Amino acid sequence: MGGERKAAVAAARRRELGAFLRARRERTSPAEVGLPGSARRRTPGLRREELAVLAGVSTTWYAYLEQGRDVRPSDQVLAAIADTLRLAGDERAHLRALADGAAGRQHAVTREAPPPSPVETVAPEVAAVLALVAPAPAYVTGATTDVLVWNDPAAELFPGLALRRDTERPNLARWVFLDPDARHVLVDWEAVAQSVLARLRTNAGRHPGDERFARLAEELRAGSVEADAWWPRYDIATHRTGTKRVRHPSRGELTLGHAAFTVADAPEQVLVVYSRN
């Protein structure tokens, strides 16, 4: 990577770090950190100077951090900021990954991958697993929530997602937010939609400046009032096991367990397998 390219990437990562911190600061109320509230407050959440005092740093230095300036917080300062903002485990990992990326380091906890290829592909050995787990529905998603491969039971369970009428590659976030059928298939649509968008937002933060994420976010926000409202919140999420309620086209409402497995050689690809509870 050339010097100019490295500088541009570092600048984009610093801006992303600032955006994350600003979003979290604006969501942290004074009461949460033991400060008195005021009806005359114009700033949502904490003011910069309040957070700086609580974290033990200067207001000017913290302002530079949010503005994307080339300042490099130590581990102790990052921990103090995370404590002040009441960040959870995934959020702390994301903060550390952004800070390390801005400083040109890679943080092992996040298992950051190189920028994904414009057209993601799945290794044949991974794709073969979908046939092995059938009749359990299964699919593999990529960094931008493209559905890269799926088996027939998954196509039956999510017909509007997998069996598209156009030639566009299926995309989980696009289907959830822009296809009206998703609101019928997903019994708890809002919870699922927030989780999908949070995972997309997390990946987008790890690839600042990647036009694929920017284009998809713009499309989602233009077509969904929920996506437009939730995207600036910068929620963080990773794939986890859990349950999901769906309306099957022939078997009615089902409660399914699901497990997610990260592909070892492509850590932003995730194999998701569903099972009947």
**What is the C-alpha to C-alpha distance for residues 205 and 50, in angstroms, rounded to an integer?**
25
Q: How far apart are CA 274 and CA 248, in angstroms?
A: 13
Distance CA 99, CA 64 (A): 13
Co-location of 137 and 266 in the same domain: yes
50 and 159 belong to one structural domain: no
Q: In the prediction, which pLDDT does 11 show? A: 87
**28 close to 34: Cβ distance less than 8 angstroms:** no
Determine the structural domain holding residue 184 and report its residue range.
124-276
Q: What does the pLDDT read at residue 113? A: 46
96 and 146 belong to one structural domain: no
Q: Is residue 259 part of a domain?
A: yes
CA distances to 160, 161, 269 from 166, in Å: 11, 11, 23
For residue 59, the domain's CATH number is: 1.10.260.40
Domains held by the chain: number: 2
Q: What is the pLDDT of residue 251?
A: 87
119 assigned to some structural domain: no
Digit-by-digit pLDDT tens for the chain (277 residues) are 567 777 788 888 899 999 999 999 999 998 888 887 666 767 778 999 999 999 999 999 999 999 999 888 899 999 999 999 999 999 999 999 899 877 766 544 344 445 555 678 899 999 999 999 999 999 999 999 999 999 999 999 998 887 665 557 899 999 999 999 999 999 999 999 999 999 999 999 988 888 999 999 999 999 999 999 999 999 998 878 899 999 988 889 999 999 999 998 888 999 999 998 6
Residue 92: DSSP 8-state: H
**Letter for the amino acid at 58?**
S
| CA 38 to chain CA mean position, Å | 33
User: Which pLDDT score is estimated for 53?
Assistant: 94
CB neighbourhood size of 171 (10 A):
22
Answer yes or no: do 204 and 226 share one domain: yes
pLDDT value, residue 9 = 80
Q: What is the CATH number of the domain that holds 194?
A: 3.30.450.180
Please check whether residues 214 and 147 belong to one and the same domain: yes
